[in-house]
Amino acid sequence: MLRVNENYLKLPGSYLFSKIGKKVSAYAQANPGKEIIRLGIGDVTQPLAGAIIEAMHRAVDEMGSPETFRGYAPDLGYEFLRNAIVKNDYEARGCQICADEIFVSDGAKSDSANIQELFAGDCKIAVCDPVYPVYVDSNVMAGRTGTYEEQTGMWSDVIYMPCVMENQFVPEFPKETPDVIYLCLPNNPTGTTITKSQLQEWVDYANKNGALIVYDGAYEAYISREEVAHSIYECEGARTCAIELKSFSKNAGFTGVRLGYTVVPKELKFGKASLHDMWARRHGTKYNGAPYIIQRAGEAVYSDAGKKQLKEQVAYYMNNASVIYDGLKKAGYTVFGGVDAPYIWLKTPEGMSSWDFFDYLLERANVVGTPGSGFGPSGEGYFRLTAFGSFENTRAALERIQGL
């Protein structure tokens, strides 16, 4: 008789954003007159840039003609897209990355969840706390995390690196040496980041310990300060210890378009095994490529017109970030993030729990945010707001919060 993967049954509750979605739906149904403003899930609201729309129309037409129709895409993704990525995201920053080290995918969420398949079952992972839930949950499903401790909200075999007010949200080298270190910088959910020289220390640490860094750079486009690296490959030695995940969701508004890529350098070898070859094998066996139309949309992100339009889009969201940051400050909150990232991280007032503050904000201001504790135990007592709403909604939300 079929036995199921029992690790799935260890997962407490549902995926964070599904839970929020259900809570908000229930409130909306019970209060039909209320106008709810969503600054919770990191979903963008601005339409796609004109250059991207044009590129997709052209690609759709190509698919309708026998001369230009495209079937299965190449395993790693189309060269036109991988070349554009290499040129703009790496060569332009002095990073040595080849086109055949780029693996195009349907987004960083899938890749960040799937990458753990390459690791042995007894590898120990380290995560920042709070953290994007997918890193931990995907390892739970694979049985790599031990048991869940209700009391602490922690998994017995996960190494947590608390990122809290007291250490300026900068992860510290853990006592126990991990095999895999997940770093998301600029960070989701705290909206904070570290400098290039601090990142170099992590690269050195990983190389020294034979650990792998899974570097999630989904928010790279929001970096404003000079001293922050846009890619981990700006650090010396990263090619022997780091995989980089990139998304088009936040820099180009592709949350509903679905495109991302993962960089696996060829030097990434552990024992006899090449992670590059293993990931290539996974890609070829379990995946069939991102749609041609969507890969053309990705290419347009790197066109001159696309770059200009997306710079404006990022500026639009970063203006929202300022509105939230300043508005919360004015309302007396303790606030972080929002400078190199589209997320604002606030301390809940008067020792309120994160979920209590969620309910408070939903019911009193009809504003949806994300409870910090949903991202890990050290997120308790914090709350995340995103800058991805419209300017009008963002301003309205802050007015409501200030009026509480």
Whether 311 contacts 274, CB under 8 Å: no
How far is Cα 5 from Cα 11, in angstroms, rounded to an integer? 12
Enter the tokens of residue 255: 């949350």
Q: Are the C-beta atoms of 379 and 130 separated by less than 8 Å?
A: yes
Which lies closer to a second copy via its Cβ, residue 133 or residue 237? 133
CB-count burial class (<10 Å; 0-12, 13-18, 19+) for 315: exposed
When the beta carbons of 29 and 151 are compared against a second copy, the nearer one is: 29
- Tell the smallest beta-carbon distance from residue 118 to a second copy (Å): 6
- Token pair recorded at residue 210: 């034979």
Instruction: Output the smallest distance, CB 287 to a second copy, in A.
Output: 6
Nearest distance, CB of residue 148 and a second copy, angstroms: 15
Q: Pick between residue 163 and residue 257 the one whose CB is nearest to a second copy.
A: 257
Q: How far is the CB of 211 from a second copy (least distance, A)?
A: 6
- Give the separation between CA 39 and CA 394, rounded to whole angstroms: 8
- Most distant CA pair in the chain, distance: 66
- For residues 114 and 142, the answer to whether their CB atoms sit within 8 Å is no
Q: How far is the CB of 207 from a second copy (least distance, A)?
A: 11
Q: Residue 25 or 334: which CB sits closer to a second copy?
A: 25
CA of 111: how far to CAs of 6, 81, 283, 286, 287, in Å?
23, 18, 10, 12, 11
CB of 333 to a second copy, least distance (A): 27
Residue among 257 and 335 whose Cβ is closer to a second copy: 257
From the CB of 112, what's the least distance to a second copy, in Å? 9
Q: Which two tokens stand for residue 341?
A: 């990232």
Distance CA 389, CA 205 (A): 38
Cα(320)–Cα(266) distance, rounded to whole angstroms? 40
CB 225 within 8 A of CB 212: no
Query: Which amino acid is present at 284?
Result: G
> What minimum distance in Å lies between the beta carbon of 25 and a second copy?
11
For a second copy, give the closer residue by CB, 263 or 346.
Answer: 263
Exposure string for 127-147, b = 16+ CB within 10 A, e = fewer? bbbbbbbbbbbbbbbbebbee
Closest to a second copy by CB, 64 vs 403, is: 64
Least Å distance, CB 166 to a second copy, is 30
DSSP assignment string, 201-253:
HHHHHHHHHT-EEEEE-TTGGG---TTS-SSGGGSTTGGGTEEEEEESTTTS-
Query: Residue 112 or residue 354: which is nearer to a second copy going by CB?
Result: 112
Of the pair 174, 349, the CB lying nearest a second copy is at: 174
